[in-house]
Structure 1
Amino acid sequence: MDSANLDFINRMLEQDSELREKIKDQVTEFDKKTRTMTGLLNKIHSTPTAQLPLLLDSVQPILESCKETTGAIANLVPANQFWRWKEMWSISLRNAVFSATLIEYLRSGTLLTLPQVSDILGIQPEWQDKFTLAAEDYLHGLISLVNELSRLAVNSVTLGNYEEPLRISAFVKDLFAGFTMLNLKNDALRRRYDSLKYDIKKIEEVVYDISLRKLAPVSGK
């Protein structure tokens, strides 16, 4: 191998290493934001319903600031190299999906679609080949949402909110019905999907106990 070729390869390796470090810096910032949101949202399990809006309002600015980070990452990734770098930020992105969907559920009781989450995170359609919200990352975020809601169903009862588990049950069952219609071939995603049955069972046990004790109005069923 001649020296010119070696020099060329060395430059390519150095450029690749520099780019990786730059992306890593932005992903670290993204991860910091998602961990902060997750930490704050964990307080929902000990926060009375009347105080939830204040808690969600404290998380909202952090969620909105994620737009700056996704934009910075997208500006770094070269065209047509999404799949090459995707794994660097996939965990942070899934956690951001989780936070966004949990906030929306707590505010309105509805599920954010993939395009809606992309919009909240500032992900532009023209970034498709550099930075985008892949379906599998969106679904991983939704599974985390169900995991958290199964916890909330139990803790809502502790806080004296007997209607919330009924709402959670209806929401999760509808979400699970959607999952059953998907052709999941990703092994990790499939395994996590299978675990949803345990979350649903936990929620059903809470709802059954509430119904048995007549702690919630019949209209809430």
Structure 2
Amino acid sequence: MDSATLDQLNELLDSDVTLREKIKDEVAELDKKTRIMAGTLNKIHSTPPDLILNLLDVVRPTITSCRDNMVNLAAIIPPNQFWRWKDMWSNSLRASIFSAALVEYLSNRTLITLPQVCEILGIDDSWKDRLTLPVEDYLHGIISLVNELSRLAINSVTMGNFEEPLKISVFVKDIFAGFSMLNLKNDLLRRRFDSLKYDIKKIEEVVYDVSLRKLAPTSTSTTS
């Protein structure tokens, strides 16, 4: 190779290193926020039902602030290079989706949609070639939601909230039914989906105990 070619290659390598460091710094800031949200949301397992909404109000501003990180990432990534760099922030994005999904469930007892997540995180459709929300990442976030709800079903009984496991059971079974109709070709996603059976089993055991002891109204099991 001649010197001109070598210089050009070195410039490209240096450019990649610089870009990688910029992305890493931005993802590190996003990671801090996801850890803060996870830490705060973990308190739902020891918070009385009537104080849960106050706890969610603490989390919402942090979720909204993730928009800044998304804007910054979209500005950093060169056109048509989303798939080249996406693995650097996938885990952080999934953690953000999980937090948004848990807040949505506890607030409205509904499943957050992919468009809703994009809106909450400020992911603009015009960024498609630089930063977007893949369906796989959304589904990973929803599976994490189910994982957390199976834990909440157990801990809510300890807190004296006997209706919560029944509500969670209806909600989670509906999600599982939806996943069952998806054509999942991603191996990791498929394995995580299969693990939901164990979450459902845990929830059903709690529901069985609560129902057997007549600790919650029977009608609750048929409503979400």
TM range (shorter): over 0.9
Partner of 2:62: 62
Structure 1: distance between partners of 2:53 and 2:150: 20
Partner of 2:42: 42
Partner of 2:7: 7
Partner of 2:150: 150
SS at match of 1:182: coil
Structure 2: distance between partners of 1:161 and 1:145: 19
Q: Which amino acid aligns with 1:135?
A: V
Encode CA deviations 1:41-67: one digit per residue, 9 max, x unaligned.
000000001111111111111000000
Partner of 1:32: 32
Encode CA deviations 1:17-61: one digit per residue, 9 max, x unaligned.
101100110000011101110010000000001111111111111
Partner of 1:198: 198
CA shift for structure 1 position 173:
0.3
Partner of 1:111: 111
Q: Can you give the 5+ residue segments of structure 2 that lack an aligned partner in the other structure?
A: none
Q: Which amino acid aligns with 1:66?
A: C
Structure 2: distance between partners of 1:48 and 1:108: 17
CA shift for structure 1 position 219:
1.2
How does 1:112-191 map onto structure 2 within 5 Å? 112-191=112-191
Across the aligned residues of Structure 1 and Structure 2, the Cα RMSD in angstroms comes to 0.5
Moved over 3 A (4+): none
TM-score normalised to structure 1 length: 0.99
Structure 2: distance between partners of 1:76 and 1:122: 16
Structure 2: distance between partners of 1:84 and 1:217: 52
CA shift for structure 1 position 218:
1.4
Q: Which amino acid aligns with 2:36?
A: T
CA shift for structure 1 position 205:
0.3
Q: Within the alignment, does 1:98 sit opposite 2:98 as a pair? A: yes
Q: Which amino acid aligns with 2:164?
A: E
Structure 1: distance between partners of 2:218 and 2:184: 37
CA shift for structure 1 position 186:
0.5
Q: Which amino acid aligns with 1:94?
A: R
Structure 2: distance between partners of 1:218 and 1:103: 26
Q: Which amino acid aligns with 2:211?
A: S
CA shift for structure 1 position 80:
0.6
Q: Within the alignment, does 1:76 sit opposite 2:76 as a pair? A: yes
SS at match of 2:78: coil
Q: Which amino acid aligns with 1:127?
A: W
Q: Can you give the 5+ residue segments of structure 1 that lack an aligned partner in the other structure?
A: none
Structure 2: distance between partners of 1:209 and 1:52: 24
TM-score normalised to structure 2 length: 0.98
Work out the number of aligned pairs and report it: 221
Encode CA deviations 1:170-205: one digit per residue, 9 max, x unaligned.
000000000000000101001100000000000000
Structure 2: distance between partners of 1:38 and 1:133: 20
